[in-house]
Amino acid sequence: MRLSQYFLPTLKENPAEAKIASHRLMLRAGLVRQTGSGLYIWLPLGLRVLKKIENIVREEQDRSGAQEILMPTIQNADLWKESGRYEAYGKEMLRITDRHGKEMLYGPTNEEMITDLFRNNVQSYKDLPKNLYHIQWKFRDEVRPRYGVMRGREFLMKDNYSFDIDKEAAKISYDKMFVAYLKTFARLGLVAIPVRADTGAIGGELSHEFQILAAEGESTIYYDKAIESFDLKSLAEDISPDIIQKLQSIYAVEEEKHDADNCPVAKENLRIAKGVEAGHIFNFGTKYSEVMNAKVSGSDGSMIAVEMGSYGIGVSRLVGAIIEASNDENGIIWPEAAAPYKVGLINLGAKNEECTEACDALYKKMQAAGIEVLYDDRKAGAGQKFATMDLIGVPYQIILGPRGLKNNSAEFKIRKTGEKTEINLDEIVSKFI
């Protein structure tokens, strides 16, 4: 993409309303614009990041055996009346009425809808287990939206729902998701601590939150430092049942649940950190299958209410969370997996014909090689280009000016470390493949 053509409204100054780094940077780097309290427009650059994250989430879901579907954002109130949550959910749920006077709602989650789908289409234990997910916009009418997309009212969430014949099978489904989550966050370059959680409004016995460590996180968590020995950032591949067992038994709780006097972890081994809740998994047994009559025939012919679990990842929140965990005074530092572009190409001699030709040629070559490159071809000052590229945080920069061109070389800069090295123009493409 040529920057001169791109819709990328960046800000030099800090917007007054943005309190924390990620919110500030998302506005400054032209990722989003606010259009109402807790409502954001995703601009081209931000949308690319959102889709990158969405895809990683999707790949790990698929890999775990879950199957993607897509449910609507608008739901009938009837199903929620059946489960009893229409009254229970309160004002957080946006209620609307259609032209026929029918009560509807903008879905904050989909347990009812999917339970209905399941009971209408699955009759036998032979069809279990099943795990279905979708990635869809949700709306929760937060009393006080804040922190940009980290706490918006409309947000993109991956949520899935598992159906099993008994508790043992349900635990297997739960652990599969536990592993999928560890892998997902690891691929995004994040340290996510699995924290034992309350099951809250959704109900149930077993639940973990995945907290991403970030200085300005909303939750305070207490955990055994033993968890650090797991190198959570590189848990990309094989995760044995043994590791799952250990991770789930290590002490990690939210502030409210932490009791200093009865803590099983010695003081010197206890870590206190701020986190952003990026995912939450629940096993809630037969809570919905009982009231909504989601039953299948067992092997003995009896009707059995299915064991269910639900699992969420805040996809749009992750955009903010990643920035929160990875930025400096110059801007965002994208981990490669979530970066909107892999390389930023800066033409320092935009008014120099020779240099521009060389940059254009390099740009075409990189594109042809399938490298995601953002090309700053603007006729602007060098400082401005450096500042923009640092702000939007692409992982690598190629800086080419008339000076380097004489030696057929450019500067290769790593955004994260600031490290710069000379690179021969002919070696650039191979560097990124």
Partner RNA sequence: CGGGGAGUGGCGCAGCCUGGUAGCGCAUCUGUUUUGGGAACAGAGGGUCGCAGGUUCGAAUCCUGUCUCCCCGACCA
**What is the contact surface with RNA in residues (CB under 7 A)?**
10-19, 23, 28, 34, 36-38, 91, 140, 142-147, 149-153, 155, 157, 198, 200-202, 209, 218-219, 277-280, 312-314, 316-317, 330, 348, 351, 381-384, 386-388, 390-391, 399-404, 411, 413
- Select from 32, 118, 156, 142 the least CA-distant residue to 296: 118
- What is the distance between the alpha carbons of residues 431 and 404, in angstroms, rounded to a whole number? 18
| Minimum distance of RNA from residue 1's CB (angstroms) | 17
For 171-208, the three-class secondary structure string (H helix, E strand, C coil) is HHHHHHHHHHHHHHHHHCCCCEEEEECCCHHHCCCEEE
Shortest distance in whole angstroms from residue 216 CB to RNA: 9
Quick check: 421 and 412 in contact, CB under 8 A? yes
C-alpha 89/C-alpha 27 separation (Å) is: 32
Nearer to RNA, 243 or 387 (CB): 387
Q: How far is the CB of 73 from RNA (least distance, A)?
A: 15
Least separation in angstroms between residue 19's CB and RNA is 4
Which is nearer to RNA, 121 or 417 (by Cβ)? 417
For residue 308, the minimal CB distance to RNA (Å) is 16
Say if CB 191 and CB 278 are below 8 A apart. no
Strand partners, 346: 376, 399
Give me Rg for the CA atoms of the chain: 24
Q: What is the smallest separation between the CB atom of 229 and RNA, expressed in angstroms?
A: 25
The token pair that represents 126 in the structure block: 């032979």
Nearer to RNA (CB atom), residue 209 or residue 377: 209
CB closer to RNA, 296 vs 405? 405
Minimum CB distance to RNA, residue 264 (Å): 24
With tokens 């099978």, the residue in question is 169
Q: Which residue has the tokens 């917007």?
A: 15
Q: Which is nearer to RNA, 273 or 382 (CB)?
A: 382
- List the structure tokens of 63: 């890999």
- 308 neighbors 162 (Cβ within 8 angstroms): yes
Closer of 12 and 99 to RNA (Cβ): 12
The nearest distance, CB 80 to RNA, in angstroms, is: 17
Pairing of strands 343-347, 396-400: parallel
Distance CA 387, CA 398 (A): 14
Q: Phi and psi for 218 in degrees, rounded to 5?
A: -80, -25
- Residues ≥6 apart with Cβ < 8 Å to 60: 180, 181, 183, 184, 187
Q: Which two tokens stand for residue 228?
A: 């650090």
| Distance from C-alpha of 210 to C-alpha of 148, rounded to nearest angstrom | 20
Q: How far is the CB of 406 from RNA (least distance, A)?
A: 9
* Inter-residue contact 424 to 431 (CB < 8 Å): no
For residue 300, the minimal CB distance to RNA (Å) is: 37
- Site of tokens 């993607």: 68
**CB-wise, 53 or 128, nearer to RNA?**
53
- Closer residue to RNA in complex, CB, 339/391: 391
In this complex, which beta carbon is closest to RNA, that of residue 312 or of residue 335? 312
Nearer to RNA, 133 or 155 (CB): 155
